Amino acid sequence: MTQVIKDDSNDGEIGSGLQDLPDYSFLRQKDLHALKVIPFSSATLWRMVGSGRFPRPVKLSPQITAWRAYEIKKWSRDPIGWQQ
């Protein structure tokens, strides 16, 4: 069962609520959008993953792909300078 993460904050800041998650958490693509971690489309996300400008996800099962929260937190602190 997957828990959907909702961002109830109204401040509009990118990644608000992300810092509250434990580092060992996993985030699915819909969570990245819900928490406003990525202000761009899914296609751009996957282009950035492919080019090494966004963390690579891990396969949790054949149908579930997710990102490690600590990697997303690290990326969100410096998206331009982040290197894989």
- Does the pLDDT at position 1 exceed 60? no
Say if 41 falls within a structural domain.
yes
pLDDT at residue 25 in the model: 93
When pLDDT is cut at 50, 70 and 90, the band that residue 81 belongs to is: confident
| Domains contained in the chain, number | 1
Q: What is the span of the domain harbouring residue 72?
A: 18-77
pLDDT at residue 7 in the model: 44
- Count of Cβ atoms closer than 10 Å to residue 54 Cβ: 23
In order of 26, 33, 81, the CA distances from 29 in angstroms are: 10, 7, 22
pLDDT at residue 83 in the model: 77
pLDDT by residue (tens digit) across 12-55? 454 657 888 888 999 999 999 998 889 899 999 999 999 999 99
Say if 63 falls within a structural domain.
yes
